[in-house]
């Protein structure tokens, strides 16, 4: 860069190449130092300088006689003396301190307790061993993966180290409730260097302290517990609905999980109930009381380091699923009403109450107006009871904890700093009620969504409220999701009206947020424009999801997504203008979804600054582009080459083949989409490794995308619903025969892509079993994956069934070159995946609880396994509809096999 193009400082002779560097330098000439040290009140204008200064106030524990940790001693580096020390934390090393020098008798006692090496030194000050709620860890180098705030671990970090941690919160997972013990998984996702940092057992005896947000976490366990077999087998809950006779548990509802659930867990010494079940069918036999967490324990193997999602107590929801006719399937004018909740909910979130007494009074008044008394417009509810103020506020907090990370279009700093509108609070509470741990959750959720719908009608007709247009759109967005996924047929039939209103917003008002930001944009202006961008992209995403999940034809197209993509989550979640300004200086411009999709296709490159929400949008952009190509190649004139000379109408030439995999243009675009998905998946794997093997929700979208793009999923759903006797599946016999031929042709002629789709459908089962975020899209995803596996197992070529069912011994070539089986519902290396894609017709495709997919009982069993997964994601009432279809279809499959050999080779 020449001197002519450089930017000079008006106060001195220094010059800079970037405007943000110049602005930062100019502030050094002023006297304003807004950032103050909490110890000495010294002022700074840069936050990194303040963090470095605060480290000088922290007294190292080494000055009190504590020895350096082993990695620092080996590297001859300074050790901070904390657990883990700052050097080991930044380098992801195993921070382990040498044992204290005691008498020989004490040394023998210490040697008899291996877990003592994992404890803080008893002579260490409490301040240096205080655990900090790690809501996010971000490397200081641009482009490095960050750890989501939802991947929480309690690590003993000194205040000086914690001050250097950038509390980032990318939208990777909506705060799942993860088991703090080792699970029965047989796969070690990441290396020891990663997992030791997040090892909960090694940190479980540290003292409790409040995090930066003021949330206290107590993960202390007595030494007797850590020395007991429960440490070696993993600390886990008993199965849902059961309790150990000698244990005392304070069970937390599903809305209270992660670190909050840990703080509510009261564990008594020598009374730890053990759950020896796992996702692996043979894990119980492989697990031993003598298995340790390190190879040095000398047992030949160690416990796997994969954290597992805790299952909440949902016995009543499962009973609702098992009911043949749901209580909530309203017919006629059956009245609604809120149930009587038998317990009070205490809010434990570190978020101020969003619903004050005045807001609750307005909501209660609107409930009485629209649902409590006859008014000639709406049918009154069966009961005039309404939820209490505390319960309503709790539902709003459930929304913020579960749903906000899934669709982050609400600006939380703005919501918490002012009183949000009552109608928005009501819509948030309606969504949050799906996550409440109450017996009548479905009835409560349906009543909420009906109340929101009635309030919206009154508000729009009377026009007495001064609501902004963007606020009305956001409420309709939440209401459309609740109405479609709550499982109520009447509400679902009214949702398309809201769908049309949302699409109209995108075509009329969304483009107002397409202009790039200016250099000196105020925070308030920025968040208003960013809110409009995110709201529009959430509508665009839902428009695509409604097409996949319910067959509501997508109205928006990829060419409509010309607005810049949402910013990174770290910038969106900045809680003050000062923090936002620091991050805004380092932020770069983001492209539109259309531009990012073109770059991914052509350049095979993914912009590293894209957040997780933007990556989910990009996955669905690949759907749109593939569908556009499909629409084009299906048109008869697309197979005709225009000429100047007239020709006779050749019907056969113009119609051609309608089998998409046989059309080269479509095949190339589909392969290109698969390559793009691989790029996105490789990026997601880096987050999984940094999160100690925990998968974030983007992974589910990546697996489902292969099922959508590589299978005739609409045809499969139609055939399955017809076979199950669903009244909505109105197909003629000719249409059913056509569907069968198309699916059989897909399973045989397009077998390579079919087997690739089966791998991702199986691993989707793995993800939902362990890392479910209870998202509204999970029941349809499990439903589509289950039907895809059923279709392949039913219509695979006879050669596959003959080879899989043969009891003949394997040949020498099979033993020396290739494996003969593969578990579809477990992560596998890329080499094994590609081997199954190429020659899977000679391999057995196995699934836990199913056996071989292509055996005689395989299709029916995979449907049963899919119905079990739907029980685990039963927060959304639509799971009942999917459950009913899978169970009925499984019964039909078993009835067709009565009288035959139903043995399954497992």
Kindly tell me if the per-residue pLDDT of 884 is higher than 80.
Answer: yes
Kindly tell me if the per-residue pLDDT of 388 is higher than 80.
Answer: yes
> Which of the pair, 180 or 797, is modelled with greater confidence?
797
Residue 351: pLDDT band by 50, 70, 90 thresholds? Answer: low
- Tens digit of each residue's pLDDT (9 = 90 or more) over 238-265: 333 333 333 333 333 333 323 333 332 2
pLDDT confidence of residue 668:
96
Residue 742: pLDDT band by 50, 70, 90 thresholds? Answer: very high
Residues 6+ apart with CB under 8 A from 751: 796, 797, 840, 841
Q: Is 463 left (phi over 0), alpha (psi -120 to 50) or beta?
A: left
pLDDT confidence of residue 59:
56
- Tens digit of each residue's pLDDT (9 = 90 or more) over 676-735: 999 999 999 998 988 888 899 999 999 999 999 999 999 999 999 999 988 777 778 888
- Domain spanning 3-55: CATH 2.40.50.320: no
Q: Which residues of 874-901 are buried (b: 16+ CB within 10 A; e: fewer)?
A: bbbbbbbbbbbbbbbbbeebbeeeeeee
pLDDT confidence of residue 382:
87
Stretch 77-87: mean pLDDT? 80
> Which of the pair, 14 or 771, is modelled with greater confidence?
771
| Short-list 334, 330, 348, CA closest to 401 | 348
Residue 586: pLDDT band by 50, 70, 90 thresholds? Answer: confident
Stretch 166-174: mean pLDDT? 37
| Short-list 750, 767, 790, CA closest to 701 | 767
Stretch 894-906: mean pLDDT? 57
Highest mean pLDDT among 240-249, 257-266, 510-519, 603-612: 603-612
> Which of the pair, 211 or 789, is modelled with greater confidence?
789
pLDDT confidence of residue 60:
52
Share of the chain above pLDDT 90, in %: 41
Stretch 311-324: mean pLDDT? 39
pLDDT confidence of residue 293:
63
Q: What is the C-alpha separation between 459 and 454, in angstroms, rounded?
A: 9
**What rounded mean pLDDT belongs to the chain?**
73
pLDDT confidence of residue 400:
93
Highest mean pLDDT among 55-64, 107-116, 137-146, 770-779: 770-779
pLDDT confidence of residue 107:
39
Kindly tell me if the per-residue pLDDT of 87 is higher than 50.
Answer: yes
Q: What is the C-alpha separation between 103 and 547, in angstroms, rounded?
A: 72
> Which of the pair, 362 or 640, is modelled with greater confidence?
362
Flag the least confident range among 111-115, 755-759, 803-807. 111-115
Backbone angles phi, psi at 7, to 5 degrees: -100, 125
Stretch 69-91: mean pLDDT? 81
Residue 889: pLDDT band by 50, 70, 90 thresholds? Answer: very high
Stretch 442-451: mean pLDDT? 94
User: Which contacts of 32-41 are long-range, i.e. CB under 8 A and separated by 24 or more positions?
Assistant: 34/578, 35/578
- Tens digit of each residue's pLDDT (9 = 90 or more) over 454-465: 999 999 888 777
pTM score of the predicted model = 0.67
pLDDT confidence of residue 789:
97
Kindly tell me if the per-residue pLDDT of 313 is higher than 60.
Answer: no
CA 505 to chain CA mean position, Å: 27
First-to-last CA distance in the chain?
67
pLDDT confidence of residue 144:
37
Highest mean pLDDT among 205-214, 391-400, 730-739: 391-400
Kindly tell me if the per-residue pLDDT of 533 is higher than 80.
Answer: yes
Residue 530: pLDDT band by 50, 70, 90 thresholds? Answer: very high
- Tens digit of each residue's pLDDT (9 = 90 or more) over 633-687: 988 888 777 888 887 765 555 555 678 999 999 999 999 999 999 999 999 999 8
Q: Pairing between strand 844-847 and 821-823?
A: parallel
Stretch 46-56: mean pLDDT? 73
Boundaries of every domain in the chain? 3-55, 76-100+113-297, 319-508, 522-596+613-638+654-672, 695-896
pLDDT confidence of residue 303:
66
pLDDT confidence of residue 820:
86
pLDDT confidence of residue 411:
94
pLDDT confidence of residue 511:
84
DSSP classification of residue 848? T
Residue 600: pLDDT band by 50, 70, 90 thresholds? Answer: very high
Kindly tell me if the per-residue pLDDT of 597 is higher than 80.
Answer: yes
Kindly tell me if the per-residue pLDDT of 529 is higher than 50.
Answer: yes
The rounded radius of gyration (Å) of the Cα atoms in the chain is 29
């Amino acid at each position: 860069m020449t001197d002519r193009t450089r930017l000079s400082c008006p106060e001195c002779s220094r010059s800079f190449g970037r405007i943000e560097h110049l602005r930062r330098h100019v502030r050094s000439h002023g006297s304003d130092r807004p950032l103050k040290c909490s110890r000495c009140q010294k002022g700074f204008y840069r936050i990194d300088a303040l963090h470095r200064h605060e480290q000088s106030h922290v007294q190292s524990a080494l000055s009190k006689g504590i020895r350096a940790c082993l990695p620092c001693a080996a590297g001859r580096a300074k050790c901070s003396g904390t657990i883990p020390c700052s050097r080991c934390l930044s380098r992801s090393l195993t921070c382990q301190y040498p044992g204290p020098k005691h008498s020989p008798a004490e040394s023998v006692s210490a040697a008899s307790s291996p877990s003592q090496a994992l404890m803080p030194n008893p002579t260490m000050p409490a301040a240096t061993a205080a655990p900090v709620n790690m809501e996010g860890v971000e490397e200081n180098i641009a482009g490095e993966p960050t750890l989501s705030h939802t991947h929480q671990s309690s690590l003993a970090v000194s205040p000086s180290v914690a001050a250097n941690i950038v509390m980032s919160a990318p939208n990777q997972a909506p705060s799942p409730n993860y088991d703090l013990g080792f699970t029965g998984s047989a796969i070690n996702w990441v290396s020891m260097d990663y997992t030791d940092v997040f090892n909960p057992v090694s940190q479980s005896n540290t003292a409790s302290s409040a995090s930066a947000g003021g949330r206290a976490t107590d993960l202390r366990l007595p030494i007797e517990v850590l020395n007991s077999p429960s440490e070696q087998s993993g600390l886990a809950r008993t199965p849902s609905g059961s309790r150990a006779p000698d244990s005392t548990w304070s069970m937390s509802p599903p809305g209270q999980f992660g670190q909050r659930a840990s703080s509510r867990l009261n564990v008594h010494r020598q009374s730890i109930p053990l759950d020896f079940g796992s996702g692996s069918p043979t894990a119980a036999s492989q697990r031993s009381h003598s298995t340790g967490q390190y190879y040095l324990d000398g047992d030949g193997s160690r416990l796997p380091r994969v954290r597992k999602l805790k299952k909440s107590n949902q016995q009543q929801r499962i009973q609702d699923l098992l009911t043949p006719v749901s209580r909530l399937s309203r017919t006629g004018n059956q009245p609604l009403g809120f149930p009587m909740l038998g317990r009070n909910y205490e809010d434990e979130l570190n978020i101020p109450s969003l619903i004050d007494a005045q807001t609750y009074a307005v909501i209660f008044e609107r409930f009485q107006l629209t649902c409590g008394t006859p008014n000639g417009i709406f049918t009154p509810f069966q009961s005039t009871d309404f939820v209490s103020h505390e319960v309503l506020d709790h539902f709003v907090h459930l929304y913020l904890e579960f749903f906000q990370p899934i669709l982050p279009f609400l600006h939380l700093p703005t919501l918490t700093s002012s009183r949000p509108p009552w109608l928005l609070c009501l819509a948030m509470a309606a969504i949050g009620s799906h996550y409440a741990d109450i017996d009548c959750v479905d009835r409560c959720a349906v009543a909420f969504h009906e109340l929101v719908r009635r309030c919206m009608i009154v508000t729009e007709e009377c026009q007495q409220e001064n609501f902004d247009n963007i606020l009305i759109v956001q409420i309709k967005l939440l209401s459309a999701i609740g109405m479609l996924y709550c499982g109520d047929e009447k509400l679902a039939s009214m949702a398309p009206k809201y769908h049309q209103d949302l699409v109209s917003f995108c075509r009329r008002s969304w483009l107002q947020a397409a202009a790039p930001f200016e250099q000196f944009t105020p925070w308030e202006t920025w968040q208003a424009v960013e809110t409009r961008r995110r709201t529009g992209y959430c509508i665009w995403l839902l428009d695509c999801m409604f097409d996949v999940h319910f067959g509501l034809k997508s109205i928006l197209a990829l060419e409509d997504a010309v607005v810049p993509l949402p910013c990174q989550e770290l910038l969106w979640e900045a809680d003050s203008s000062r923090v936002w300004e620091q991050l805004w200086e380092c932020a770069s411009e983001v492209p539109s979804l259309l531009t990012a999709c073109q770059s991914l296709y052509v350049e095979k490159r993914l912009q590293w600054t894209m957040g997780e929400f933007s990556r989910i949008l990009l996955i669905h952009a690949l759907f749109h582009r593939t569908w556009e190509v499909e629409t084009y190649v299906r048109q008869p004139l697309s197979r005709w080459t225009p000429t100047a000379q007239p020709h006779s109408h050749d019907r056969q030439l113009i119609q051609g083949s309608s089998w998409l995999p046989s059309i080269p243009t479509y095949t190339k675009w589909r392969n290109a989409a698969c390559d793009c998905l691989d790029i996105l998946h490789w990026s997601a794997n880096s987050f999984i490794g940094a999160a100690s093997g925990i998968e974030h929700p983007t992974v589910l979208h990546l697996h489902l995308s292969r099922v959508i793009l590589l299978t005739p999923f609409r045809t499969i759903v139609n055939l399955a619903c017809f076979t199950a006797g669903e009244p909505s599946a109105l197909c003629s016999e000719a249409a059913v025969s056509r569907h069968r031929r198309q699916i059989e042709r897909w399973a045989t002629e397009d077998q390579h892509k079919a087997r690739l789709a089966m791998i991702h459908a199986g691993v989707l089962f793995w993800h939902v079993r362990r890392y479910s975020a209870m998202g509204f899209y999970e029941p349809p995803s499990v439903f589509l994956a289950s039907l895809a596996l059923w279709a392949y197992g039913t219509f695979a070529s006879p050669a596959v069934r003959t080879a899989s069912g043969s009891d003949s011994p394997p040949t020498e070539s099979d033993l020396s070159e290739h494996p003969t089986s593969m578990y579809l519902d477990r992560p596998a290396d890329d080499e094994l995946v590609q081997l199954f894609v190429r020659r899977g017709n000679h391999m057995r495709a196995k699934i836990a609880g199913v056996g071989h997919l292509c055996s005689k009982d395989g299709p029916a069993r995979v449907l049963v396994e899919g119905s079990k997964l739907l029980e685990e994601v039963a927060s959304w009432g639509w799971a009942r509809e999917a459950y009913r279809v899978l169970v009925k279809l499984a019964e039909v499959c078993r009835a067709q096999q009565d009288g035959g050999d139903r043995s399954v080779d497992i």
